[in-house]
Every structure is written in structure tokens, then in C-alpha cells.
Structure 1
Amino acid sequence: MALAADLSTLIDALITSVAKISPDHKGSARVQSLKRRVQGGLRTGSHTRTDQFAVAKQLEGLQEKFQILNRDELAEALHLRLAELESNRNSWLPEILSLLLQLSDRPALLSTVKPPEERAKAPEAKETLSWSDLRADGTAFSDEEIWEQVDFAGDSSDDDFSSVVSDVFLPKHRPQSATTVDEEYIIPDDAFVPAENGDLIASLEKAQFWRAENHSSATTSRLITESQLARETIFMLQGLPTSIYVRLDDDFGVDRRYALEHSSSEALASLLQCFSEIGAKLNDVRSFTKLPQTIPYMQTFCRGLEDRLLEFDKVLSQVQCKYLSAGSTISLIQLLVDVRQHSHELVLLAEMIAKLRKDPTDQPMCCLDSLYDLICMLEALGDESSSQRLAELFFMCFKTYASSIRHWMETGQVDVSDSTFFVRTNRENGDLRTLWHDWFILDTGHRQQRIPQFLETSVQKVFTAGKSMVFLRHLNALPDIEAMRFEDLYSSPQLLPFPALVESAFEKLVDVDHSLSSSLLRTELDQQCGLWSSLDALHHIYLAKDMSAISIIDAKLFELIDRGRSWDDRFLLTEITRTAFSSVSVIDTSRVLVRPDSTQMRVSQNGQRTVGILDAVTIDYGLPWPIANIITEDAIHTYQRISTFLMQIRRAKYAIVKQRVRDARNTTPDNTLLHALHHNMLWVLDFIYGHLTYLVISTATRSLHKDLSGAQDVDAMISAHQSCMSSLEAQCLLSKDLSHIHDAIINFLDLCVHFADLQAAHLLGDEEQHMENPHTKKESENEFDSDDDDDNVNHEHTLTVSFHDSTYSQQLETVNNQFNHLITFVTDGLKNLARADGLQSWDILADRLEWRRN
């Protein structure tokens, strides 16, 4: 407790001294905050003790350094003082010595030790020195270098303590002090040129042809040797500044003052112009390599340019070494031949780079496309050596560019750091049912500038392979793909043309991953996800594959509609549908849901006796998410429209058959037109329904199974199913261009329902007459049971037929005329379609509907 109190007192004194806070404000919030921070810093265990062995090791090393630098007096003095400290040792001695070591500044250079007799003497006062005592012409201070900033960066480690003490122990700011010069140092004689070698100095000065004093002022031209001109040319080609070649922006100009004694000015100017043109193009390449590049394959391209520039510089260095050898012959013409030969590839690349700078910056694939076109052009011209060298550069760039493609196809992940990759993530809601369609998009950019021209045909395959891997990852069925070496992709003999070689390499890259992922995904969809059972379930629910289950739903639904009851109860309809399909093993009844459309019901509420009311009934079947990616919502909507059309046909037949059964129980007069209409309407209904189910749907289903079995990937499966749905939609007369025929058939179905209602209304009228006769009332009651009477009464409330305006016979004739008109209209429309597109099903349906004409 005493230690804590003393520590608190010391902390208060420290805060008062450092923060300049009056003792009256010791209880303020600021003082308390500072006190908590100081206590946290001084808390026990927050700082470790100094390693005393490391300090002792540093001091021993310091003594050895003094001895190595011939400062034995310093080593002896340090040893004596350490021995004296050992006799008076305390617990804080390592910390004190460590602090002294950190505060030391070049002790081997700046420390001095006085003899004992000098230490005993009193220190003498130093004489002051003023600026007037310094002579400007004095040798000690005449050198202007004393006024320059002292550079300590070049100090040797032997003259400083930094080699012994770690950088962590060095102070951040060292005091600047002048270094002492060893007075005993003697400059060696070989550092000076002997006076008798004045001719050598003169020859060196004379060799500097750019000096004006080396040329006669009387002549305008300056004569130089061919070796000097060759050296200047090599320097210029290497990107170094010269006197003869002057850089003008991105070009080189030639100083016309220089001339060769054995060459005309015109010939020399032409020769130097050739060199300057090559040098300007090489300078463009060097400038391009210094530009910052953010696109990965462009960085590889710049690295390839640097390698080729380095090779060219090595050739120039070899030429220069050959010129310096004894007995060599220097020829500018031969130099031009050599330069053209070894710079041909760089010159071609410089011309390509010049075109790139003119193009907009939003074309990331322009460089790769230009390099591809350049190689194809060289190969067409027969320049095999240049085309092969540039092909190596192309494949280097293509390897970098294809890394994102390989990462996408092998893992199903998009490299977001690559701005040139053409696949983008577009996931917003994360619904697995739309994984294949909405999670990823092809971002081709403006005019497909994100896709190289030579890869446009294979991009969709790359996109499909990556999405297959994403699909498999969510199915927990990722395959182990062995990554191929990129060099194996184009290691085939160079007998193929370059375009074929690139195409072959990329196909190898794509086909390996695409075939593996697609085949595995198809297997998962077939065996684990239940593709075929889901398709079979859709055919049962929507395409009426099993009439035993469909008839149960129809009977209950149509009965509710005829009775005028609440047939639009979704819970009741869902329960009826699930009960009916419970006997079908491929259907998961928990996924079945019936949704009445309230909007459609409001449209049809004034005409419940029309088959259009069935448009309000929609059956939904929830597919597993892998299957929902293949069978899209649009396809399900087509299934539902076909199901509704088939149900409308069954509704019309149900009304006629039920009314005919009701007519058979009564004694009706022999009416030929009535029986003819019964027969003709049922025959047309049966044939249309049979044509749709047994010919159109059955044929399309077999074709769909065949196409799905032969599909190579999910895209092909989706395309096959969409093609089947489009064909079914057209052949079932549900497409927009066939709406006039479909509307005519719907009118015919409504006419059938109206005909049944007409018979029901006529029957109810006869029954009322019989009921008024007391002799026939008992007979009527015995003939019909109570259930049938209830049905007739309820049916009567939904009838809209009236005999006030026209009689029963007149309305029967009207029905017959409308029937003939509608069937003729449908038949003619189908024949016109058959002549237009040649589809066989139209001819078959039209011929069967023409039976009355024949």
C-alpha cells in the first residue's frame, strides 16, 4: 500500500510538472484522465526488463571494435570503468548502461581519453573565435565544400557504432558534426596523372569532339571519325543522350554540323536518318514500358518488351566490344544492317504501339487483338522467324489473360481484380432457382471489347463451364480437377498456322474443364436431383398424362361451378388436387398449390357459364432448385396455359355429356337436329383433345427426352426444353400469331356449354309443366331421386338462357349455324397455316375437321 501511495504521489508530481497544471486543479476530469493513462503505462508487467546479457555482449563487442580500430586507450578506459561499476552494482545497472549505449554517437570516432595528469589540471577557458579571424583565402576554409550539406549515408560501418548496436537502439536524430581527417593519410601517387603524360591528357581532351575548341572556327562543318559516329549511334539506340542525335519530343534530329571526311553530306544524312528513325521507334517502345499498366496481361506485355530491349542492348554492347578490339573494322553501313536485323521485331512492335495510342482507352483487348493480327500478317508474308518470336510473346500475354478464365472454369469464382474478364457477378437476391440465369452475366463491353476477337466463338463455352462449377459447388459435388500446364496447350508441332494453333490451344483449355464439369453436372441432375421424375410430374399435372387423377379434379371443380358455389376457394382446390394426385408416385403432393386468380375471376364473374373462367385457376408445382434452373418460369407458364386449354376442352365435354345423361332420363321428342348437334360437338371435342394429347404432346415429349439425353451441358438442356415448350405452344394454338384460331376454338367451347345450358333450361321448363299436372307429379317424383332434383335446382341458378326473346327451336338453329361457322373458320385457318409453314399437324387436324364437308 505504501508503494502504491508513493507511486500515486509521484504520478501527480509528474503530471503537474509536465502538463503545467496548477495544484488547484488536481481533481479535474483532465487530470484524472491523464493520471489513468500514466498509471496504465506504468502498470506492472507492461514493460519487460532490459536483457543484461545482451548489454554485456554489446559492451564486449564495443571493446573489441576499439581494439580493431587501434583505439586501445578507449578499450582500456571502458574496461576499467566497467570493472569499477561491478564493485558498486545495483539492480538498475543494465538499464543505465543500455540507455548510455543508445545515447552514444560514434564513440570510436568522437571519444577521447585524457591522461591522468591532464585530468587533474583545471580546465582552461577556451578562446572565442569570430568570423573576422577567419581568412577567406585560408587553405583550411577556402574550399566551398564546407558549406554543403554533410551526407552521412555513405559512412562506413567500421566508423560507426551501428554495426554493433542494432538500429532500434540508434536515436532518430543524430547531431551533425564534421568528420575529422586523418592527418597521417597520404594520397597514393597512382591517383594522379604524371606530368610527363601530358600528351595522354591532350589526346583525351581532343577525343571529345563535341567541344567547340576541337574544331576550326573557319569551317562550318565539324569532321569526326567513323568510330566516333558509330559510338554515338550505339548510344542513341541504347536510349542514352548524344551530341549528334538530338531528341525532339518523340523523334530524333541529326546535327548537320558533323561530317565524315570520306563521305558526302547527302549520303551521311540519309544514313543517319535511317538510324534516327529506328532510334525513334525504339524510344517509343522504351517509353511505353515505363507507363503504368493496370491490366495484368499488359504488364506481361511490357515485361516481354523489356526482355527484347535487353537482348537488343546486349547485341549493341557486343558490337561495341568488337569495335574496341584491336584490328577491327568499323562500318556504319554494316552497323545499319546489323541494327535492322536485330531491331526488326521491336520496330514492328513500335508500329503496333503507335496504333494502340491512337485507339480509345476503353478497349482493353485491343493490344492482344493487334498482336494476334500482326503475327497472322507476318506468317502470311513468310516471315517465320519474326512470327515465331512474336508468337512466344503472344502466348506469354495470353497465359496471363487466361489465368482468370482458368480460375473461373476450375473453381466457378470470378476474379474481381481483373477488370478485363468478361464474366461479372450479378447476384442480388441469392435465389438458387435463378442461379444459372441471373447470378452471372457476360459483360462484353462496348462492341465486345472485353472479349478478344479470336475467342468469340468459345466464350459461351467458358461461361457455361464456370456456371457448372458454381452449380456443383452448391450441390456439394465439386470434382477434383487436375490443373494443366499452360505450356502443354500449345506444345504441338509448329506445322499448324498460328490462328489454328491458338484455336487448338484454347479449345484444349476449355474442353477439359467444360466436358468434366458438364458431364458431372448432368449426372447429378439425373441421379441426385430427380430431373426425369420432375418432368414426369409436370406431364401428369399439366399435360394430363393420367386421366384417372385429372378426372377427379375436373368432376369436383366443374360440379362446384355448375352449382354456383365458392369454387374459387384455394384451400379447397388445393386439397382436391393433392388428394387426386396422391396416387401418382412421381408427384410430391406437398409441392402442389392451386391459386385462383382474383383479377381473372372479376373479369369472368358476370359470365360463369363460359370456359374462360378456368383461366383463373392456376396450378403451381414447386420444383427443386436445380431443376428450376432448367425448367424456367416461362416454361412453367407455358405448361399452365396448355393445362388450362385442355381443361377448357374437358369442361365443354363435361357439360354436354352431363346434359345428355340428364336428357336420357326424360322422355324427349325425336329431334334430329338436337341429336346431330350432340354427336357433332362431342366428335369435334374428342378429336381436338385427342389430337393435342396423343399426337402433339406425345410426340413433343418423346422428342424432349431424346434431346435431353443427348445434351452436352445445362445450356443445351435448357435450350432443348425451351424448344419443346415453344413447339407445344405453337401446336396447341397458344402463340400470339395463332390467337385468332385459338379464340375461335374457345368460342366453340363456349357454344358447347351454351348448348348444354339450352338443353338444361328446356328440360327445366318441361319439368315445370309436368309438375303442374297432378297425374304426372307422382310419376316424376318416382323417376328422379332427390339428389338429382337438388342438382337441377342449383344448376338453374347459374343458367343464363331465356326463351322470352326466341323459342327453343330458334335458339337450337342458331347454335347449329354458329357451330358450322366456327368449325369452317378453324378448318380454313389451319389449312392456311399448313401452306405457310408446312407443319404436318395442321394438315392432320384440318382434314379431320373437314369430315362434314365431304
Structure 2
Amino acid sequence: MAFAADLSTLTDALITSVARISPAQKGSARTQSLKRRVTGALRTGAHTRTDQFAVAKQLEGLQEKFQVLNRDELAEALQGRLSELETQRNSWLPEILSLLLQLSDRPALLSTVQPPGENTKVPQAKESLSWSDIKEEGTAFNDEEIWEEVDFAADSSDDDFSSVASDVSFPRRRPQSSTTVEEGYVVPNDIFLPAEDGDLVASIEKAQFWKPQNHSVVPPGKASASRSITESQLARETIFMLQGLPTSIFRHLEDRINVDHRYTLAHSSNEALASLLQCFSEIGTRIDGIRRFTKIPQEIPYMQTFCRGIEQRILDFDKFLSHIQCKYLSPGSTISLLQLLADVRDHSHELNLLSDMIGKLWDNSINQPMRCLDLLYDLICMLEALGDETSSQSLIKLFFQCFRTYTRSTRLWMETGQVDALDSTFFVRTLRENGDLRTLWHDWFMLDTGDQRQKIPQFLATSVQKVFTAGKSMVFLRHLNALPETAESHEDDSPPESSLPLPFSALVESAFEKIVDADHSLSAGLLRMELDQQCGLWTSLDALHHVYFGKDMSATSTIDAKVFDIMDRGRPWDRFLLTEIARTAFLPVPVIDISKLLVKPLNTRSPETQSRSVRLLEKISIDYGLPWPVANIITEDALHSYQRISTFLMQIRRAKYSIVKQRLLDARSISENSETLVNILHHNMLWFLDFLYGHFTYLVISTSSQALHKSMSNAQDVDAMICAHQDFMKSVEMQCLLSPELSQLHEAILGILDLCVHFADLQSAHLISSEDHGLHAHTTPHANVTADDDLDSDEDDYDHDEQGHEHTLTASFLDLSYSQQVRKVKFKFDHLTTFVTNSLKGLTRADGPPSWDILADRLEWRQREQ
């Protein structure tokens, strides 16, 4: 049964991998049909061993066939080899012999047997035979019938016996001549030059004007005389030069074509001819530079396409020159160098433009892979601005051919999320693969623009980020197993058509943006749907607000009571106890997965000087694990911001907890002895803490959370969602006074919170002194916790609010009396509150957020009310 189950599982995996069937279609009729066929093919016994008796019977029949066909040597050779195989028996021998029988091809006709001992004979040198040694008479080769074709159709038969009846063996395939000469064909005599026609040969040799013997000899000491030629000869030399062929009048010197001024025309002045030939040489120099450029090996794909396009244009130009040459060779034609120059200029205009562009490309080709595409784009825009519609339309076709080749890597990235490793010019580079999925969006890929963004064409700079985002979205979807079944492919390389008379630049950018937007919207839409419906994005955000922002105060107050009681007792942090407290408190909250909640103390015991300071809460780190798709949006830096805000809110609750707890004890014991100053200070502190906490939670966090939900709902892609969440965290941090530039203001508020805790300790110490009737002048400061004080003691110890933890109090009346310390606390509180108010008003005037103005007004109003 186990084997059958494993076979079924492997069969399903094989079908899914080969047929590419999604897991959702495992129960379809097509899948079941494929599974039945595969199972039948894999069933034991479907491919049995070869029948050895049938093989032996076939070999015996083959021996009898050899004997019947009078090939006894084959029969004897086969019998001897079979006998030799019997001495070397192998389990796979029947299969081998069966395979050889199936591969055999008419063995009775095509097989040969080498006689024994033939290899030992020394080959004798054969005497060479020539046709002169053969006499014409008395030989078998004088019969003309041996050269005639043999008709084998009459002798062909399907019977093997008739096939081997002849002693002559013919090959299966016979090469046939590619050309056949018709019977009775007679070579005409007019194609041969008669030997007696010497004048014609002399005229041909005299027409070769480049030979020195066709010109007069120059006396020594005199300048070389001019060589007069005809206009037809000069036109032919010019055409040859333009076609890249070597000539006598035009000479190649380095990268230029120079003119030999010794040649002249009888009906033209030397200056006019020199000017005319100079124009031809300049055009030839440009075209020759293009020819040399096409011969340079190119490694960039779109540059190869560019070279092929230039070669096609050079071929068209050569066809034009050949047509001119045929025209000049026709009877009655008129040859004019001026007309030839006009025609050449007209047909080489586009090549001259490309020559100038290639010159710029050679001058700036180092580490600039997109230089050619940018130059071609600029050239087309310039021609369009000048109104040269013919040249611009032709170059537009070349541009889109190159652009299509260039965008292959872009289309592959946007449609599949794969990077073409062979394309060194692609602007997306893979940093890592199969790494931490939580950093897939941020750390797996990067935009490699090169030096001065030379890997990105200038006209595509505005759409590169969308291309990058679309590809990353496809990678994201692939790891979520949510890739679309079919992807649109954009293979059209024709210029974009538009009913509006838009310039070329606008058409190119709009066409590319249209393609990018289509792929971007498809991948981004699918990814947003997966994040919303399958990955629990909104559930995770709600869970973070519960854990860090105290959205449910019933759970938060439970954690606060336990944590603050541990601080009052002065005991070290225990990460297991803190984690258990947090998980128990958040257990009723449905959006929180308590298995992902972890509380870690950064150190096990705090310094004694800070045993009751609110800064001690900074040593606690609350971590909530997010699914990897959500972790790509809510990054690790954002979680650190959540933790800082959570710590700050918990510090405010700690200060209020200390004052409220002390007030309850004071009310039950000695409320009749309370002084007016103490009551005022107590009231002001509670009002400050309540307003500060309410301002941060209800006005800042709640309002920003609503804006965050709206922004992320309207986000087009993951980048926009990440940006919206980062803006949210930055705004909340700044409005909660946690930004680095607001460190002094934040320290002032922490000072007020510590002052509130100190005031509560002062009241507790005064209460203890009053109850003991002076037996203890001051509480024992900084008492150490005994070893027997273990956190594993009974849980009821945390619920005894009536028992004060006087051994952890830091208040002392040795230096100052109780009333003096109360007035000192009142002075510090008023000073710090005034500093916070003035600082907020100053920041508001410096374009601060409106929430600071509201907070400053309320604090200032409270001070005026006092």
C-alpha cells in the first residue's frame, strides 16, 4: 500500500510538472485522464523482457535466407559469431541481438564478409595508369555506350533473390550531376575570340588607362604629365570607388579617400574636375567609414540590429550604383559626371546622416551602451523638425527595429520577472536569489543605471521605475504561486500610429508608456489583490495597531499592570514571563496571532539609579512577526518606529499609573492631611498626562491611520503602498515628538514623566513616614532584591496593591523636607511644561504640523487658567 501511495504521489507531481496544471485543477477530467494513461504506462509488466526464443528463431531464419540467396559466406560468418557469443553469455544478450536485428538494413544485399587473413597481407603498390597508356583500338573503353546512363528501373524488384543475382554491387545513393548537357548541343563559335582578331585585343589593352604603357613617358627632371581619360572611364572609376572597390583615380589613405590629380578630362578644366572629384571623394569617405563600422563585431544586441539595418541601406545604395552602371552601358546613353553627382547626393543623403552619427558614436563610445540609441533618436527628431519627412520616416523604421531588440530584456522582465543574464546593458541587476523573502522587494534586485545613467535611454527615463516595479511584482507573484495564466506579448516593432499630428518623441514615449502601463497595471493589480485577500495585509496592520498603539485598552491595561508591578518590585525582566503576559492579554483579540508575539528585554536587570524611571521601559522590545509578503511593505525600520511609539505611549501610561495608584492609597489612609499645593500638583499632572496621551492616540494616530488606509487603498503598486506606509510612520513619529531633530523636546517630556513618578514616590514615602510615626525618617533607597525574591512566586503577589514597595522608592527627606520637595517638584513641572509649550509654538511657526499648534494651545491655556 505504501508503494502504491508513493507511486500515486509521484504520478501527480509528474503530471503537474510536465503538463503545467495548476493545483486548483487537480480534480479536473483532463487531469484524471492523464493520470490513467501515465499509470497504465508505468504499470508493472507493460514493458516485458525480449523473448529469447523468438530472437533465436529470427537468427536461424536469417541463416537459411543467406543460404537460399547463395550467400553461404554470410551464413557461416553468422553461425561462427553466434557460437562465440554462447561462450560469453550475458543476461541482456537477447535484447542486444533483437536491437541489432531491428537496425539491420537488407543484410543479404549490403553485408560483406572479409576473408580470414586478409588484414595480414601486405598491400602491393598499384601501378598508376594514364589515358595515354590505353590504346584506342582493342580496348573496352572505346565503346561509347559505357558513358550512357543506365536504366535500373527495368531490373528493380522487391525480391531479394533477384536483387543479389548480379555480381555487381551498386551503392544505394548515387550523386547526380547538377548540370546536364542537351543532346546535340553545339558550342557556338562566336563566344570565342578568333586568334586572328588582334586589333580587338589591342584595343582592349589600350582601354586599360591605368597601365603605365598606355601613357607617354615623362622625361627625367620634369613633372609628371597629366593623363587624359574619357568621362565614361572617370564615371566607371567613381562608381567603383563608391562601391568600395579599389580604383586608380581614387586612393585610400588611412581613413580618407584621396584623388589622383594626374588624370584629366579633355573638355574640362583641371580646377573644375578637381572640385568635382573632391565632392565624390568626400561622399566616398563617409560611405567607406560606414562600411568599416559594419565590419566591427558588436556585442550589444540592439547594436547588431543597427548594423544589419545599415548594411541593408548600403546594399540599396550599391543596387542604385549598379543600375546607373547598367544605364551607362546601354547603347545611346549619355554620361554626365554632374548628373551622377546629383544622383549620388540624392541617394546617399541618409547614409551621410548616419555617417555623422557614427562619427559621434566613435568619439563617445566608451562605457556608453545607450549612446547609439540616443543619437539615432535625436537625429530623427532633428530631421522631423527640419521637415525632411523622407529621411525621418526611413530612420524611424530603423529606430524601431533597434528599439524592439533593446526592449526584449525589458519585456522579459515585465512579463515574467526574469533578468536576462546575457544582456549586459539591461538596467535591472540581480543582487540575490532565494534569499529572505521578507526583503524580496528591497534587496533582491536593484536599478543598475551605470555611470551617468548610461544604461537607460534618455527618452525612457520617466518610465524606468514602472518597469522596475512591474518586474518585481511578477517575481512577487511567482513566489506567491499566483502568476497569471497568460501574459500579453508586445511584438509589434512598427512605428506607432496616431490620429493626432504628434511629434516623433511624443509618439515614442506614449507608445512605450502604454506598453509599460499595461504590464504594470496587470502585475500590480494581481499583487494588490493577493495582498488584500490572501496575505492578510489589513489584518496585519490592525494587529500592529493593537500591539503597539494600544487600540484595545483592555488588553493593554492588563499588560501595563503586570509590567509596572514588576518595576515597582524592582525585579529583573524575564522574557518568558513577559511574553506569556502579552500573549494572555491579547488572546481575546481575533486579529492577533499570539504565536507571533514575542517580548524581549534588552538586559535582564536595569541600573539601580533608573529602577523607577520611565526610561527603563526602553529596555523592553515587543516584536510581532509579519507574513513575508506584508513584511516587504512594513519593513524592519517601520517596525522599529512602531516600537518607539509604543514605548513612548507606555511611558506616559507608567507615569499616570504611578500617580493614580499613590492617590488611591493616599485617599484610603490620610486624605485629611492633604495640602492644597499637593492637590493642585496632582491635578495638573493628571491633566497633562491625560491630554498628552489623548492627543497622541486620538488626534495623531487615529487621524493618520485613517489617511493611511485611504492612501494604501488607492495605491497603484507595492512601491506606492510602501511609500504611503513610510509617510504614515514618519508623520506619526514627528507628531509624537520622536524625530531625531526633536530630541530636546522629547527629553523634556520624559523629564516631566519621571517627575510624575518621583512625585508619586514622594507621596508614598511621606505616607509611610506618617504611618510609622517617625520610626523611619526616610525610606531605604536603592534596596537590593534578595535572592529569594523570584518571579516564579505565587501570582497573587502582583495583585496586592495595598502593599507598598517601599524598598524601591528613591524619595528621601534627609536633605530637604517634604514641603520643600513638593514645591521643588512644582517648580520643575511648571518650568518643563513652559519649555514644551514654547518649543511647540516655535516649531508651529516654522511650518510644523497643525497638531503641534493644537497641543501648544491647550498647554498654554491650562497655564493661563492656573
Q: Aligned in 2, Cα 1:106/1:849: closer, same or farther, shift over 3 Å?
A: farther
| Structure 1 partner of 2:221 | none
Q: Aligned in 2, Cα 1:94/1:658: closer, same or farther, shift over 3 Å?
A: farther
* Equivalent pair of 1:570/1:596 in contact (CA under 8 Å): yes
| Structure 2 partner of 1:636 | 639
| Structure 2 partner of 1:199 | 199
**Structure 1 position 48, deviation (Å):** 6.7
The answer as to 2:587 corresponding to 1:582 is yes
| Structure 2 partner of 1:562 | 568
The answer as to 2:426 corresponding to 1:426 is no
Letter in structure 2 aligned against 1:692: F
Please give the secondary structure, in 1, of the residue aligned with 2:846.
helix
* Equivalent pair of 1:55/1:97 in contact (CA under 8 Å): no
1:507-529 C-alpha deviation (Å, 9 max, x unpaired):
12201100111111111101111
| Structure 2 partner of 1:216 | 216
- 1:801 aligned to which of 801, 811, 821: 811
**Structure 1 position 52, deviation (Å):** 8.6
The answer as to 2:849 corresponding to 1:846 is no
Letter in structure 2 aligned against 1:246: R
| Structure 2 partner of 1:130 | none
* Equivalent pair of 2:601/2:620 in contact (CA under 8 Å): yes
The answer as to 2:687 corresponding to 1:683 is yes
1:582-639 C-alpha deviation (Å, 9 max, x unpaired):
11111111110111112xx666443111000000111111000000000011111111
- 2:113 aligned to which of 92, 104, 107: 92
| Structure 1 partner of 2:720 | 716
Letter in structure 2 aligned against 1:545: K
Please give the secondary structure, in 1, of the residue aligned with 2:348.
helix
**Structure 1 position 275, deviation (Å):** 0.5
**Structure 1 position 565, deviation (Å):** 2.3
Quick one: distance in 1 between partners of 2:583 and 2:211? 105
**Structure 1 position 300, deviation (Å):** 0.2
Q: Aligned in 2, Cα 1:50/1:609: closer, same or farther, shift over 3 Å?
A: closer
| Structure 2 partner of 1:64 | none
Quick one: distance in 2 between partners of 1:320 and 1:658? 111
| Structure 2 partner of 1:304 | 309
Q: Aligned in 2, Cα 1:107/1:536: closer, same or farther, shift over 3 Å?
A: farther
Q: Aligned in 2, Cα 1:499/1:767: closer, same or farther, shift over 3 Å?
A: same
Q: Structure 2 matches for 1:495-506, cutoff 5 A?
A: 495-506=501-512
Quick one: distance in 1 between partners of 2:458 and 2:819? 76
Q: Aligned in 2, Cα 1:92/1:109: closer, same or farther, shift over 3 Å?
A: farther
Quick one: distance in 2 between partners of 1:198 and 1:469? 81
Please give the secondary structure, in 2, of the residue aligned with 1:217.
coil
Stretches of structure 1 lacking an aligned partner (at least 5 in a row): 1-38, 60-90, 119-162, 168-185, 773-785
Letter in structure 2 aligned against 1:709: S
**Structure 1 position 491, deviation (Å):** 3.5
| Structure 1 partner of 2:529 | 523
* Equivalent pair of 1:489/1:509 in contact (CA under 8 Å): no
The answer as to 2:405 corresponding to 1:400 is yes
Please give the secondary structure, in 1, of the residue aligned with 2:813.
coil
Q: Structure 2 matches for 1:692-711, cutoff 5 A?
A: 692-711=696-715
- 1:609 aligned to which of 612, 617, 620: 612
Please give the secondary structure, in 1, of the residue aligned with 2:772.
helix
* Equivalent pair of 2:427/2:455 in contact (CA under 8 Å): yes
Q: Structure 2 matches for 1:188-267, cutoff 5 A?
A: 192-217=192-217, 220-267=225-272
- 1:595 aligned to which of 586, 591, 600: 600
Q: Structure 2 matches for 1:34-113, cutoff 5 A?
A: 92-93=113-114
Quick one: distance in 1 between partners of 2:120 and 2:280? 66
Q: Aligned in 2, Cα 1:112/1:739: closer, same or farther, shift over 3 Å?
A: farther
**Structure 1 position 356, deviation (Å):** 1.1
Quick one: distance in 1 between partners of 2:509 and 2:117? 75
TM-score (normalised: structure 1): 0.78
Quick one: distance in 2 between partners of 1:759 and 1:696? 33
The answer as to 2:478 corresponding to 1:467 is no
* Equivalent pair of 2:228/2:263 in contact (CA under 8 Å): yes
Quick one: distance in 2 between partners of 1:756 and 1:693? 24
- 2:739 aligned to which of 735, 740, 753: 735
| Structure 1 partner of 2:489 | 483
- 1:534 aligned to which of 524, 528, 540: 540
1:299-347 C-alpha deviation (Å, 9 max, x unpaired):
0000000000000000001111111111111111111111111111111
Q: Aligned in 2, Cα 1:611/1:113: closer, same or farther, shift over 3 Å?
A: farther
| Structure 1 partner of 2:677 | 673
1:39-75 C-alpha deviation (Å, 9 max, x unpaired):
99xx99799799996788679xxxxxxxxxxxxxxxx
Letter in structure 2 aligned against 1:209: F
Quick one: distance in 2 between partners of 1:499 and 1:312? 28
The answer as to 2:468 corresponding to 1:458 is no
Quick one: distance in 1 between partners of 2:418 and 2:833? 58
Q: Structure 2 matches for 1:302-341, cutoff 5 A?
A: 302-341=307-346
Stretches of structure 2 lacking an aligned partner (at least 5 in a row): 1-87, 140-169, 175-185, 219-223, 777-795
1:266-301 C-alpha deviation (Å, 9 max, x unpaired):
111111011101101101100010001000000000
Please give the secondary structure, in 1, of the residue aligned with 2:623.
strand
Quick one: distance in 1 between partners of 2:108 and 2:235? 64
Quick one: distance in 2 between partners of 1:362 and 1:788? 71
- 2:841 aligned to which of 828, 831, 846: 831
Q: Aligned in 2, Cα 1:440/1:246: closer, same or farther, shift over 3 Å?
A: same
- 1:513 aligned to which of 511, 516, 519: 519
1:477-534 C-alpha deviation (Å, 9 max, x unpaired):
1012121232367243583211011101111220110011111111110111111111
- Supply the RMSD in Å over aligned alpha carbons: 3.4
* Equivalent pair of 1:55/1:98 in contact (CA under 8 Å): no
Please give the secondary structure, in 2, of the residue aligned with 1:594.
strand
- 1:764 aligned to which of 764, 768, 775: 768
1:643-664 C-alpha deviation (Å, 9 max, x unpaired):
0000000000000000000000
Matched-pair identity in %: 64
| Structure 2 partner of 1:366 | 371
Greater CA drift, 398-407 or 788-797: 788-797
Quick one: distance in 2 between partners of 1:622 and 1:113? 101
Quick one: distance in 2 between partners of 1:98 and 1:291? 55
- 1:623 aligned to which of 621, 626, 650: 626
Quick one: distance in 1 between partners of 2:335 and 2:500? 39
Please give the secondary structure, in 1, of the residue aligned with 2:805.
helix
* Equivalent pair of 1:226/1:331 in contact (CA under 8 Å): yes
Quick one: distance in 1 between partners of 2:549 and 2:231? 94
Please give the secondary structure, in 2, of the residue aligned with 1:223.
strand
Letter in structure 2 aligned against 1:217: V
* Equivalent pair of 1:542/1:639 in contact (CA under 8 Å): yes
Q: Structure 2 matches for 1:433-448, cutoff 5 A?
A: 433-448=438-453
**Structure 1 position 192, deviation (Å):** 4.9
* Equivalent pair of 2:565/2:798 in contact (CA under 8 Å): no
| Structure 2 partner of 1:86 | none
Quick one: distance in 2 between partners of 1:805 and 1:475? 68
**Structure 1 position 853, deviation (Å):** 2.2
Quick one: distance in 2 between partners of 1:509 and 1:98? 73
TM-score (normalised: structure 2): 0.76
1:647-693 C-alpha deviation (Å, 9 max, x unpaired):
00000000000000000011241300111111000000000000001
